[in-house]
């Protein structure tokens, strides 16, 4: 032990968590602040960058006050944040408006207009598609949900903001700007702007041809750095506000799925982790750049300097449970005046555990905000199927948990084809991974071993801390697996195999039959 600790920022969609983590990954304390999601009149989703920053300062003051003497042990700050958000800032680093969030699809029509050609595949000109995939490993989501679509949204609908913008920053980049005053992007935060040549993982760089194709201005894009680079020293006024030493370093950090791969302990090639938060993803480090256009899978730049991260993103996971809580069970209307139930997710666990596998025939499809993989369809929507008078609320609650697990199993087949090997175990992290009931459901439906990482809700913060420790030279990435600890191991139960296999086939059939209907309803 060197006595050096890391302040690890974990900025998600619903909250900002700040953890004090030692270089061996032990979480010494943490605090959190909720973050509001703004739904605009025209259907956009945004957040306030100023609210992020104030949440960081609030949690920092609380955390350090509860851990006397901890401030002097802090050697670095490193962040893990939600990805695919876009903040336009001026030359003074001030945001020109709210952050356009990763769920925002308003840029879709402008992206389609920008990228269309004579011969189109999924709405993209064939030659442009080939160039995107060849250089970046992927392509802009035609749903408009990433910075490529966001920047065009601002260019077309708010030209004054576009012209005033000095830089377009992802969420991570904005936090680093507030911490250091430096305008930088990491190799993973810049990815979904889709303007970089990613063929050499040790040399991620802008490609002028892609920038012209997208139709944005080169000078509005920040410098690119590695995730473990020290980008500067903490600004003096921030250090003074929090009572930190004046020489605290700021390590670049990463977006959430990159950090989770580190925090889950999945460093070796093909070791898989599953993150269950507001959204969900399955990921593994691989030694090659590769793209599966059909299933929307790609291996992309990450924190490991000589590797790529295969990431299969599902649009919403735990977000379905938040919907169930806030819009169905405890919606504050005339039927329910009081809805303050702090442990509701533990209650949902207890209820779901009483229901047999298969939810007494009820099926839930969790596409509540479209889907990203294994199909990229913005018009898909959630649904409850096969309800009868014999069913009750308990069946619906368990069906929500099982539906998200079915969706993950649906993704497993193209994932295994991508890495050309069978997955027999997965490390699970994120807020949803705290549920032993849900971990067992994942093990049973996916028919593989689920390893519940210790303190799974802290995986992103732990990953950021380990990236920070690497940046300081205190550890190397190869040390992470030996430092990872587990709370429980869940093996699949053979008794549930039949019902889950049968319902999974029905789950896929629902997609095939409902996809066209959802397009008609939501186009």
The pLDDT assigned to 189 comes to: 98
| Residue 302: both structure tokens together | 């990450």
Q: Give the orientation angle of helix 171-180 with respect to helix 49-66, to 10 degrees.
A: 60
* Confidence band for 27, pLDDT divided at 50, 70 and 90: very high
The enclosing H or E element of 519 equals helix 497-522
* pLDDT above 70: residue 333: no
Residue pair 124/132 in contact by the 8 Å Cβ criterion: yes
The enclosing H or E element of 88 equals strand 87-89
Establish how many alpha carbons lie within 13 A of residue 427's alpha carbon, considering only the half-sphere containing its beta carbon.
27
pTM of this prediction exceeds 0.85? yes
In this structure, what CATH number is given to the domain that contains residue 3?
Answer: 3.30.420.40
Residue pair 445/504 in contact by the 8 Å Cβ criterion: yes
- In degrees, to the nearest 5, what angle opens at C-alpha 81 toward C-alphas 80 and 82? 145
Residue 271 CB partners (closer than 8 Å, separation 6+): 265, 284, 285, 427, 481
pLDDT tens digits along 405-456: 999 999 999 999 999 999 999 999 998 999 999 999 999 999 999 999 999 9
The pLDDT assigned to 440 comes to: 98
The pLDDT assigned to 370 comes to: 81
Segments in 165-230 forming alpha helices (H): 171-180, 208-214
**Of 324 and 418, which is predicted with more confidence?**
418
Q: What is the mean pLDDT of residues 195-200?
A: 97
In angstroms, the CA 73 to CA 71 distance is: 5
Beta strands at 74-81 and 5-11: parallel, antiparallel or unpaired: parallel
The pLDDT assigned to 339 comes to: 47
Q: What is the mean pLDDT of residues 200-222?
A: 97
Is the C-alpha dihedral spanning 141, 146, 151, 157 positive or negative? positive
* Confidence band for 331, pLDDT divided at 50, 70 and 90: low
The pLDDT assigned to 369 comes to: 79
Range of the domain at 77: 1-523
The pLDDT assigned to 343 comes to: 66
Residue 65 CB partners (closer than 8 Å, separation 6+): none
The pLDDT assigned to 368 comes to: 87
* pLDDT above 70: residue 334: no
3-17, 331-345, 424-438, 483-497, range with the lowest pLDDT: 331-345
* pLDDT above 50: residue 278: yes
In angstroms, the CA 120 to CA 297 distance is: 20
* pLDDT above 70: residue 6: yes
* Confidence band for 299, pLDDT divided at 50, 70 and 90: very high
The pLDDT assigned to 505 comes to: 98
Residue 321: how many CB atoms within 10 A of its CB?
25
In angstroms, the CA 303 to CA 261 distance is: 9
Q: What is the mean pLDDT of residues 475-482?
A: 96
Out of 59-73, 120-134, 360-374, 498-512, give the one with best mean pLDDT.
498-512
The pLDDT assigned to 356 comes to: 96
Residue 475: how many CB atoms within 10 A of its CB?
18
The pLDDT assigned to 414 comes to: 94
Report the number of distinct structural domains present in the chain.
1
The residue whose two tokens read 């500067």 is 232
The pLDDT assigned to 319 comes to: 75
What percent of the chain has a predicted confidence (pLDDT) above 90?
81
């Amino acid at each position: 032990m060197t006595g050096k600790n890391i302040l690890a920022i974990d900025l998600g969609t619903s909250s900002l968590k700040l953890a004090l983590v030692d270089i061996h990954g032990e979480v010494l304390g943490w605090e959190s602040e909720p973050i509001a999601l703004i739904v605009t009149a025209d259907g956009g989703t945004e957040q306030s960058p100023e609210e992020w920053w104030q949440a960081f300062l609030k949690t920092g003051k609380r955390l350090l006050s509860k851990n006397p003497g901890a401030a002097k042990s802090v050697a670095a700050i490193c962040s893990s944040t939600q990805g695919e958000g876009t903040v336009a800032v001026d030359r003074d680093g001030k945001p020109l408006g709210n952050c356009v969030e990763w769920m925002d699809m308003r840029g879709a029509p402008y992206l389609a207009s920008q990228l269309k050609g004579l011969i189109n595949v999924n709405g993209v000109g064939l030659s442009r598609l080939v160039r995107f995939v060849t250089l970046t490993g992927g392509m802009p989501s035609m749903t408009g949900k990433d910075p490529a679509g966001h920047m065009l949204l601002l260019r077309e609908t708010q030209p004054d903001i576009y012209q005033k913008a000095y830089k377009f920053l992802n969420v991570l980049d904005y936090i680093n700007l507030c911490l250091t005053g430096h305008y930088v992007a990491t190799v993973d935060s810049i990815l979904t702007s889709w303007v970089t040549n990613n063929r050499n993982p040790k040399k991620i760089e802008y490609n002028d041809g892609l920038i012209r194709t997208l139709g944005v201005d080169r000078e509005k894009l920040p410098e690119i750095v590695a995730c473990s680079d020290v980008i500067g020293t903490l600004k003096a006024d921030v250090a003074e506000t929090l009572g930190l030493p004046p020489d605290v370093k700021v390590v670049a950090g990463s977006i959430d799925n990159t950090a989770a791969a580190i925090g889950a302990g999945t460093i070796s090639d093909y070791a898989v982790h599953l993150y269950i938060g507001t959204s969900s993803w399955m990921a593994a480090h691989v030694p090659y750049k590769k793209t599966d256009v059909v299933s929307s899978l790609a291996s992309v730049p990450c924190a490991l300097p000589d590797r790529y991260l295969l990431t299969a993103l599902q649009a919403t996971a735990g977000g379905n449970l938040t919907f169930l809580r806030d819009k169905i069970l405890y919606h504050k209307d005339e039927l329910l005046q009081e809805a303050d139930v702090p442990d509701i997710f533990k209650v949902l666990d207890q209820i779901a555990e009483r229901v047999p596998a298969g939810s007494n025939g009820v099926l839930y499809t969790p596409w509540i905000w479209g889907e990203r993989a294994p199909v990229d369809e913005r018009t898909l929507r959630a649904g409850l199927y096969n309800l009868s008078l014999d069913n009750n609320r308990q069946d619906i609650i368990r069906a929500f948990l099982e539906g998200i697990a079915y969706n993950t199993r649906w993704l497993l087949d193209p994932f295994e084809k991508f890495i050309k090997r069978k997955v027999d175990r997965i490390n699970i992290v994120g807020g949803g991974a705290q549920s032993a009931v849900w971990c067992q459901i994942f093990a049973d439906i996916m028919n593989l071993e689920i390893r519940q990482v210790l303190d799974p809700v802290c995986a992103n913060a732990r990953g950021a801390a380990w990236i920070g420790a690497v940046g300081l030279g205190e550890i190397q990435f190869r040390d992470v697996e030996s430092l990872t600890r587990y709370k429980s191991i869940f093996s699949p139960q053979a008794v549930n195999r039949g019902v889950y296999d049968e319902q999974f086939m029905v789950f896929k059939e629902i997609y095939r039959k409902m996809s066209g209907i959802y397009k008609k309803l939501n186009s």
